[in-house]
Amino acid sequence: MTMTRRRVLGGASALTAAGWLGSLTGGFVLRPNWAHAAGPIKMGIATDITGPIAPSGNANWQVAQFVVEEINKAGGIQGQPIELHLEDTASDPKIAVGNVRKLIQERRVNVVLGGITSAMRQAIKDPIVNRGRTLYIYPQLYEGQECTRFLFNTGPTPAQQCDRLIPYLIKTMGKRRFAMPSANYVWPQLLNRYARKVIETNGGEVVFEEYYPLDQAEYSATIGKIRDGRVDCVFSTIIAPGLQPFMKQLYESGFQKGGGVVSCVYYDENLLNYHPAQEMEGLVSCLDYFQAVDDPFSKALQEAYSKRFPGTKYLFTAGSASTGMYRGIKLYEAAVKATGGKLGREDVAAAMDNAVLTEGPGGGAQMVPGKMHARMNMYIAICRNDAGRTRYEVVDKADMVEPREC
């Protein structure tokens, strides 16, 4: 085959096409409508506006706008308004690192909030915290063990998700034999390591713990092991796209009809319509907030959010890191108030270490001094099926659960 100009160009354009989304992303600034002599507090949001994680990322961005607008309306922090800077991390750590550098070097933000997946956190924490010398707040529930200085975690840890849930499954629901089918990446592996300990200390037994490629499409071998091992509780950490076929085959095998319980700790309101209602029924989840939680503050918050974004498809939920984002911004506000408006990283981090939030979605939160993680309320909810419409019913609440990290 001779190489003609056309052939070379044809090949090259096909390769360029492979990365075409990457070059389209740009930054975005949301300025406050009033000014202060000292200038605004610059808050960077680095989240996944495009790519597979976009639904969560957009929810995070909306929550950030919502909270910051409320703070600015109430007079800012110590008289200083907040200016929001958005960079798209595009669900791709390689793209993210460059875009996060823009936040740090060009926009010179005082704090960065964001990142959804652990892979993303790992990729952007170094440009933010070490090379960028900036404060970083990570909002998502995750596998724990992130003890970097100047990196504050405002989502729930494995201890917060398991310490109450697993005894509930064993003692209250009477389940003993656990199966742990899991997607093969870091969150399920570390979460399972913790969950297994809690299961065993509470008198339960792990029949099998197995990892699958993320896009596995056929689960009859797994279902066979669940049935042969007389499993009565499936503690699943499978994620999409392998999730739908797994749940369908599990349901078709009659597991739930035979009294089995499925528990999955990232299920929030976004996942209510993920499976047909009969497959969702009875699923047990444990998160820091459900929309069914009916304290007046959470209710008012939810209403205000829907008023700000009417009919939005990006919900204010716990699983998408939205509650962590809310907490992160409000804890930062509390910390800057405590420093008297000083924005230096050392000052704010020292104040952040003791920051307390009295009210929030699902209740308040307190940073545990020296531990980089927050105490928060945790809720256990079971999915109910009202003639084809699914909803969560909160069946248990634990106050100010310890994160047990660092």
Site residues for other proteins per CB under 8 A: 1, 7, 10-11, 13-15, 17-18, 20-21, 50-55, 184, 210-213, 215-224, 227, 240-241, 243-245, 248-249, 252-254, 273-276, 313
Question: CB of residue 111 vs other proteins: minimum separation in angstroms?
Answer: 27
In DSSP terms, which residues pair with 182 in a beta bridge? 211, 237
CA distance 143 to 119: 11
Minimal distance, residue 271 CB to other proteins, in Å = 10
Nearest residue (CB) to other proteins, 75 versus 224? 224
Helix and strand tally (H, E) in the chain? Answer: 13, 15
Q: Which is nearer to other proteins, 185 or 297 (CB)?
A: 185
User: Minimum Å distance from CB 277 to other proteins?
Assistant: 10
Nearer to other proteins, 118 or 253 (CB): 253
The distance of closest approach from Cβ of residue 50 to other proteins in the complex, given in angstroms and rounded to an integer, is: 7
How many residues does the structure list for the chain? Answer: 406
Task: Closer to other proteins by CB, 35 or 240: give it.
Answer: 240
Residue among 240 and 400 whose Cβ is closer to other proteins: 240
Three-class SS of residue 199? helix
Residue 330, both tokens: 């409000």
Q: Which one, 80 or 320, has the nearer CB to other proteins?
A: 320
Q: Please list the residues that pair with 389 across neighbouring strands.
A: 386
**Dist. CA 219–CA 405, nearest whole Å:** 34
For the CB of residue 101, give the shortest distance to other proteins in the complex, in Å.
Answer: 24
N-term to C-term CA, the chain: 61
User: Nearest approach, Cβ of 64 to other proteins (angstroms)?
Assistant: 18
Shortest Å, Cβ 350 to other proteins: 39
Between 274 and 297, name the residue whose CB sits nearer to other proteins: 274
| Nearest Cα residue to 219 out of 240, 239, 248 | 248
Residue with tokens 């299961």: 199
For residue 39, is it left (φ>0), alpha (ψ between -120 and 50) or beta? left
Pairing state of beta strands 151-153 and 135-138? parallel
- d(CA 240, CA 225) in angstroms, rounded, equals 21
Distance CA 125, CA 101 (A): 11
Which phi and psi angles does 68 have, rounded to 5°? -65, -40
Residue 146 or 209: the one with the smaller Cβ distance to other proteins is: 209
CB of residue 47 vs other proteins: minimum separation in angstroms?
Answer: 13
Closest by alpha carbon to 136, among 118, 167, 114?
A: 114
3-state secondary structure of 237: strand
Six token digits for residue 388: 């084809």
